[in-house]
Chain A
């Protein structure tokens, strides 16, 4: 069970696109890697974390993407190769330093990985981050599959060092999260010097207007050079040259175009330009192909970033050819083999039916219910939401608006909780609450997770006190960054590599800002309802209050219980006592509580229940009880990081 990331040169290993990027960065000799977790980027840093000590790489989960960028950039200006990784929206957070880093440049290879999420599998938007290349005048490298990601990561380090600028590597979900066999072409760098040197150079590192103006000229020169001189493999490749029909495919689009042409037996019917550097699009090779072309199809995921540049080249050179793209390929969502197949077929004017024949849908008398993601059995957020809603009623807090944020708890927008009325971006719960409370008369409760609080919750918390925005802050502290797969954060006092470090508690921060903070343990449901009711009453009397609800993520608890052979309580519904009122089912929506078709009483799935006890505390007939012998002291697992 050796870690495939450490396999030797020549091995053929099954790597996730993100792991391929990590391996290539290690081969490239990075000394520093930093990130804030975010789907679909997370596994890049996770892979490096696992081997960091063995490979002598400094690695950290930073508090947010801006800081992560700055950490890696700091190393790069001191001459050490480094990497920063984030999801697409993370680059919005880091965009300030991104723009400046283009002007000042780097002293060693510096890779900015942005993992975009077309179709929004796990995101609030599907922005195309290749625009950031055009905005910052930095090259964007876009692999077509995980194998490409491996090779292109290494090429990107060389490119970054050649021009002394950051390079953006853009992947999408289906590259980051697809595994493919990869033949390793290099060894992990060892024996390199990871002590850098910071060379004082005020004209470069201090971007006051005079210096920035000079640096902008340098940047434009670099940009033009790359556009003119880097039109080579592996950044761009011409396949089957000489055809009058041309298909230009950027990044993952190439994988679909290749397969579509194979299925259509049309590999020789078009010249294909495989683009792996969509920004800036290398001009010379594209110009050469367009010279003899009659019609062009540009295939790319999301926005027409390459299409616009191709049209620019054609216009500048005076070619009157038809250039198609977004009229045949959707502007939204991820590509599929079906969508690319039909576009290529129409473009090439090929007749015939599609090679796939579905058996169609299956109708059932009761339709198959939708299955959106839900809070897990035992999820602390379920307990907190129940407590907060009950306490709001008790305290007479009328029609509160719950502004929400990014994390598992966003799922609280669903019934029966409805304790997330908004969800925009990291930290938005508190920020938007600041404005809402100036606009409406309802009480406003900003609900934010622990990791998100550290990421972007501090400035708006300060703003609220400073500007008298009378809001309630509710921090859901489950002692981890749960949604992205359980990364530590400052509130855990544990570093990326599992070392003990200073623990920073949200309540201490909030107290020092000026909030009266109530810390609750939601497993003690009744006590917590009392405490939150008191907090709400204080709020009604004009107080600035915050609540920190602390209980560990149930998935972590279950894992630790297995590891340390601790038996957690197992609850069951006692049929004789149960009156079938369904309060447990309707108030908790716990996935462990099921009602079979035709049944009058619920049942607890013993494989799923991990003993949070919320249903038992709700049951008016005391019909839900513990039916096993839990290990004494098991409660500690729910409380300690």
Chain B
């Protein structure tokens, strides 16, 4: 890879963003690529706003420049809006269909957010990863895996760079036993959902 492919993984501290970043990093290793995954630890993790910078390419520096992200994966809608300026023109935003408001705050409605996002020159996908996780595992804890599978399905470039089986292999280094099996299956299912959505959209163009 000549250029650096940038993925911003965003959301609220506690949503499994570090795990998601690490899985992408491991998949990049399996794909024989160099990568840097800049995490956020400490105070920001206490329900704060978080961005994990994943940069795939030769010896990348750690941080994605504003306007440099090819792909944003967001586990939460308010955070998707907060970090949108990281996205390059024509980039892809995949956001979880979920709003987690900060305590005591006034915030826009889902429809207002989606309408505002649609006004931009981006490829927008909204996916209920919480629901996908809950339906399959009984809780939202695997929403990060669901959104990753879905993103692999809709974003051809990411799929080309990593490959679904490399991501599945990465899961083996992070989970074990039943949790691993469940996550592998969830990854596959949400991937198929992504492929379906992307196919429809490509067809309608």
Interface residues of A (CB under 8 A from B): 1, 4, 12-14, 16, 39-40, 42-43, 121-122, 145, 174-175, 177-181, 252, 255-256, 258-259, 336-338, 341, 356-376, 408, 411, 415-416, 483-485, 585-586, 589-591, 593-598, 605, 607
Contacts and interface: CB of A to CB of B under 8 A. Distances in A.
Contacts of A607: 139-140
B61 A259 contact: yes
A362 B45 CA distance: 24
Given A177-B38, A255-B61, A371-B48, A122 B29 contact: no
A596 B39 CA distance: 31
19 contacts: A14-B22, A14-B25, A40-B41, A122-B42, A175-B62, A178-B39, A179-B39, A256-B61, A336-B65, A356-B65, A356-B68, A358-B86, A359-B88, A361-B85, A364-B81, A366-B112, A586-B104, A589-B103, A597-B107
Given A356-B67, A360-B85, A607-B140, A177 B40 contact: yes
B49 to A, nearest CB: 4
Interface string B179-199: 000000000000000000000
A371 B22 contact: no
Contacts of A358: 66-67, 85-89
Given A369-B101, A369-B107, A374-B48, A1 B176 contact: yes
A373 B43 CA distance: 7
Given A145-B36, A180-B34, A359-B87, A368 B82 contact: yes
A360 B116 CA distance: 12
Contacts of A485: 41
B169 interface: no
A589 B28 CA distance: 40
B15 to A, nearest CB: 10
Contacts of B91: 359
Interface of B: 4, 12-14, 21-22, 25-26, 28-29, 34-49, 59-63, 65-68, 78-79, 81-82, 84-89, 91, 100-109, 112-113, 116-117, 119-122, 139-140, 172-176
B121 to A, nearest CB: 6
B41 to A, nearest CB: 6
B85 A368 contact: no
Given A359-B67, A362-B84, A484-B42, A337 B34 contact: no
A483 B61 CA distance: 27
Contacts of B46: 373-376, 408, 411, 483
Contacts of B176: 1
A174 B63 contact: yes
B42 A39 contact: yes
Contact of A368 (B59, B108, B140): B108
A590 B104 CA distance: 9
Contacts of A259: 4, 60-61
B43 A362 contact: no
Nearest to A588: B103
Contact of A338 (B22, B65, B112): B65
A334 to B, nearest CB: 8
Contacts of A175: 62
Contacts of A122: 41-44
A309 B59 CA distance: 28
Contacts of B104: 415-416, 585-586, 589
Which 3 pairs from chain A and chain B are nearest by CB? A358-B67, A39-B42, A122-B42
Output the residue of B65, B84, B86, B113 with the most chain A CB within 10 A. Answer: B65
A324 to B, nearest CB: 21
B139 to A, nearest CB: 7
Contacts of A341: 65
Contacts of A408: 46
B169 to A, nearest CB: 12
Nearest to B80: A362
A341 B66 CA distance: 13
Contacts of B62: 145, 174-175, 178, 252, 255
Given A368-B108, A376-B47, 14 more contacts: A1-B176, A13-B29, A39-B42, A122-B42, A122-B44, A145-B36, A181-B28, A337-B63, A356-B68, A358-B88, A374-B48, A483-B42, A591-B47, A597-B107
Nearest to B107: A369
B44 A181 contact: no
A368 B107 contact: yes
Contact of A178 (B36, B42, B112, B120): B36
Contacts of B103: 374, 585, 589-591, 593
Contacts of A415: 104
Given A122-B43, A178-B37, A362-B117, A258 B66 contact: no
Contacts of A593: 103
A449 B176 CA distance: 35
A11 to B, nearest CB: 10
Contact of A336 (B63, B112, B175): B63
Nearest to A594: B101
Contact of A39 (B36, B43, B122): B43
B43 A483 contact: yes
Among the interface residues A4, A338, A359, A376, which one has the most CB atoms of the partner chain B within 10 A?
A359
B112 to A, nearest CB: 5
A357 B88 CA distance: 6
Nearest to A122: B42
A152 to B, nearest CB: 16
Contacts of A362: 81, 84, 116-117, 119-120
A34 B78 CA distance: 41
